């Protein structure tokens, strides 16, 4: 059961149905497998990639609760059909490659912004109870198109509570960095270079990133879905890592070639900007960024007020992942 695997209460899923956008992606696949161990009545995997859906279906045990919907979040009419009878939504669908977004900005806007608006309006129309959307550290003080579209999507989801709360549909956000080893992350890239006997390439040796595993990201998202009242932006307390530590864990004493920071790339990532910290509170295992403006019955969570000027950045984080932990993760890593 998920209660044992993730050590969290899952009462919210009992007798409820759930839809996951991007449900055949890296995060979605893991979420589906976790939710199969709850009392959820139906799990709808909504994504546009039939090959990924086919592979996921073949990797899962037969379960009558599973439904596979081919569809794009850009297609509002398809979304409305898929959301019929749905109680809960995890929104994981997005275009995510930073450099791709710089060259194809309108496509990112169509999916990450307009697609999010479609999901918001369709969820309200369908009477969904709770929608939680996945954000990214790149949405905090964004310098690239991807981050800007995700920040816009965050604003859309939070502001949606202004006109959906009274109708019984609430929206919240979870924000974390790239999941270690996920599709498009640097770990598969480094491992491929290592297998080919090539020197490992980094954009800048000083680079730091937040570190979160697939297990942690699923646990945090499901916990947040359970706890949300609508309007919260949940940020987990997670460690940072140095890019050179990751390189050494994959290939000790390897040659490292520095390529230079790519367009739209940051040297260090950020999950809470100093301007947002004045609206944030600290809890034991997380931070919560409160809405800029809440015209609904929003109750500020109890927690510690952050110091003026606080910012949650990967290079100033007080918590750092242990090198041995990275090495252990690499030793058991499987290509997603």
pLDDT band at 182 (very low <50, low <70, confident <90, very high): confident
Tokens coding 227: 């706890």
The answer to whether the pTM exceeds 0.85 is: yes
pLDDT band at 92 (very low <50, low <70, confident <90, very high): very high
For residues 65 and 195, what is the distance between their CA atoms, to the nearest angstrom?
40
Per residue in 257-315, pLDDT (tens digit) is 898 988 889 999 999 999 999 999 999 999 999 999 999 999 999 999 999 999 999 99
Q: Would the pLDDT of 241 be above 80?
A: yes
Q: Work out the mean pLDDT of the chain and round it to a whole number.
A: 92
Per residue in 26-62, pLDDT (tens digit) is 999 999 999 999 999 999 999 999 999 999 999 999 9
Q: Would the pLDDT of 234 be above 80?
A: yes
Per residue in 120-173, pLDDT (tens digit) is 999 999 999 999 999 999 999 999 999 999 999 999 999 999 999 999 999 999
Spatial neighbors of 102 by CB under 8 A, at least 6 apart, are: 144, 145, 263, 264
Q: Would the pLDDT of 5 be above 80?
A: no
Per residue in 98-120, pLDDT (tens digit) is 999 999 999 999 999 999 999 99
pLDDT score, position 183: 73
Q: Which residue reads 């979870």 in tokens?
A: 174
Q: Would the pLDDT of 2 be above 50?
A: no
pLDDT score, position 27: 95
Q: Would the pLDDT of 10 be above 80?
A: no
Q: Which one of 138, 242, 266, 286 is the catalytic residue?
A: 138
Of residues 230, 241, 122, the one with CA closest to residue 179: 241
Whether 138 is a known active-site residue: answer yes
pLDDT score, position 83: 98
Per residue in 197-228, pLDDT (tens digit) is 888 888 999 999 999 999 999 999 999 999 99
pLDDT band at 180 (very low <50, low <70, confident <90, very high): confident
Distance of CA 71 to the CA centre of its chain: 20
pLDDT score, position 323: 84
Q: Would the pLDDT of 253 be above 90?
A: no
Task: Classify domain 13-244+265-332 by CATH architecture.
Answer: 3-Layer(aba) Sandwich (3.40)
Q: Would the pLDDT of 248 be above 80?
A: yes
């Amino acid at each position: 059961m998920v209660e044992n695997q993730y050590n969290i209460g899952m009462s919210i899923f009992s007798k409820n149905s759930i839809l996951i956008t991007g449900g055949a992606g890296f995060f979605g696949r893991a979420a589906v497998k976790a939710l199969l161990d709850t009392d959820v009545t139906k799990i709808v995997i909504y994504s546009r990639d039939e090959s990924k859906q086919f592979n996921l279906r073949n990797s899962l045990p037969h379960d009558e609760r599973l439904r596979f919907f081919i569809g794009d979040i850009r297609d509002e009419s398809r979304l409305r059909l898929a959301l019929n009878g749905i109680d809960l939504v995890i929104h994981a669908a997005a275009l995510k490659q930073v450099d791709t977004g710089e060259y194809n900005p309108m496509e990112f806007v169509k999916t990450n912004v307009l697609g999010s608006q479609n999901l918001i309006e369709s969820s309200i129309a369908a009477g969904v109870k709770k929608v939680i959307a996945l954000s990214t550290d790149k949405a905090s003080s964004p310098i690239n198109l991807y981050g800007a579209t995700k920040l816009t999507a965050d604003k859309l989801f939070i502001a949606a509570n202004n006109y959906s709360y009274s109708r019984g549909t609430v929206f919240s956000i979870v924000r974390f960095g790239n999941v270690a080893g996920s599709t498009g992350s640097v770990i598969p890239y480094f491992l491929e270079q290592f297998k080919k006997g090539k020197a490992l390439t980094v954009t800048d040796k000083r680079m730091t990133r937040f570190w979160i595993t697939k297990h942690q990201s699923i646990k945090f998202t499901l916990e947040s879905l359970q706890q949300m009242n609508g309007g919260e932006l949940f940020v987990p307390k997670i460690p940072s890592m140095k890019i050179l530590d990751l390189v050494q864990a994959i290939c000790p004493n390897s040659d490292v070639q520095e390529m230079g920071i790519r367009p739209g790339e940051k040297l260090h990532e950020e999950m809470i900007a100093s301007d947002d910290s004045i609206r944030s509170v600290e809890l034991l295992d997380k931070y919560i960024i409160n809405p800029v403006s809440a015209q609904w019955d929003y109750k500020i969570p109890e927690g510690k007020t952050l110091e003026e000027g606080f910012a949650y950045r990967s290079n100033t984080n007080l918590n750092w992942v242990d090198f041995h932990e990275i090495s252990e993760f690499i030793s058991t890593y499987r290509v997603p």
